[in-house]
């Protein structure tokens, strides 16, 4: 899965590899009935729970809901409660077949990650009032990267948006965005353990956007990996 963050409300899905869409896991129909035994008229609901490896609830996880196909539009954002739960009402979507909404979930935390090693998940939600679709997560400890980006010849700091990901640029598995400040400094937190590529997000070559690779770094559980990157903005080469 290859994603590029282009704003607060939308994502662009670029990649060749995407996860298979998950079938809806709905609750027992009886539990979707109102107190009087009749079907409710409320929108469909996508909900779930975050727990740790021992089954204890994990509060404070940021959960974002997107819909779309190609360009993804954010439809909601919330944080898991003290019982580790999140819930979104779904009454429309930017993409689907008219019966099922094509939704995506993304979760973020400064130190915890999903145990499956993914950073975004497709989930189908039937647009039927009273339908409840559930998607749960097991959270484990991740790692982080701290680094600096300098010009390869002048040593001047460079301010750029970066992509930090596992897999390849055509088949990303875990993706986070980062941005360098006026000192060239950046931090990417909440990373699943593994080897990460770091590239420049949408570098303008004058003809088309490019994603020049700056380097790789290994992320380990509970550790902050330190990296110094150098880039020749004219040639586009990292050093």
Q: Is the pLDDT of residue 206 over 70?
A: no
- From start to end of 57-160, where are the E strands? 62-69, 71-79, 85-90, 100-108, 112-114, 120-126, 132-134, 137-141, 143-151
Q: Tens digit of pLDDT for each residue in 70-128?
A: 788 899 999 999 999 999 999 877 766 668 888 999 999 999 999 999 999 999 999 88
Q: Is the pLDDT of residue 167 over 50?
A: yes
Average pLDDT over residues 60-67: 96
- pTM for the model stands at 0.77
Q: Is the pLDDT of residue 60 over 70?
A: yes
Tracing tokens 């080469």 back to the chain, one arrives at: 237
pLDDT of residue 238: 61
Least confident of 89-103, 148-162, 199-213: 199-213
> What 3-state class would DSSP assign to 68?
strand
Q: CA 155: distance to chain centroid?
A: 32
Average pLDDT over residues 136-149: 98
DSSP state, residue 234: T
- Which residues are CB-neighbours of 164 under 8 A, at least 6 positions away? 145, 175, 176, 177, 178, 188, 191, 196, 197, 198
pLDDT interval class at 171 (50, 70, 90): confident
Tally helices (H) and strands (E) across the chain: 0, 21
Q: Tens digit of pLDDT for each residue in 226-237?
A: 999 999 875 555
Mind listing the domains of the chain with CATH numbers?
3-140 (2.60.40.10), 142-238 (2.60.40.1120)
pLDDT interval class at 170 (50, 70, 90): confident
Q: Is the pLDDT of residue 15 over 60?
A: no
pLDDT of residue 210: 80
């Amino acid at each position: 899965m290859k994603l590029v963050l282009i704003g607060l409300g939308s994502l662009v899905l670029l990649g060749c590899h995407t996860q298979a869409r998950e079938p809806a896991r709905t609750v027992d129909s009886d539990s979707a009935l109102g107190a009087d035994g009749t079907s409710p008229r409320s929108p469909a609901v996508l909900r779930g729970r975050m727990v740790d490896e021992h089954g204890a609830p994990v509060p404070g996880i940021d959960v974002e809901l997107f819909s779309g196909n190609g360009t993804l539009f954010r439809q909601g954002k919330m944080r898991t409660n003290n019982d580790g739960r999140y819930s979104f009402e779904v009454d429309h979507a930017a993409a689907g077949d008219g019966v099922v909404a094509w939704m995506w979930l993304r979760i973020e935390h400064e130190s915890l990650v999903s145990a499956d090693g993914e950073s975004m998940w497709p989930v189908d939600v039937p647009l039927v009032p009273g339908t409840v679709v559930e998607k749960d997560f097991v959270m484990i400890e991740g790692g982080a990267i701290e680094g600096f980006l300098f010009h390869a010849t002048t040593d001047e700091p460079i301010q750029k948006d970066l992509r930090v990901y596992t897999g390849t640029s055509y088949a990303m598995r875990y993706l986070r965005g980062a941005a360098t400040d006026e000192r060239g400094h950046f931090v990417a937190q909440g990373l699943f353990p593994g080897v990460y590529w770091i590239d420049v997000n949408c570098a303008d070559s004058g003809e088309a956007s490019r994603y020049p690779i700056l380097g790789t770094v290994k992320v380990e559980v509970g550790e902050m990996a330190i990296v110094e990157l150098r880039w020749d903005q004219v040639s586009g080469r990292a050093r």
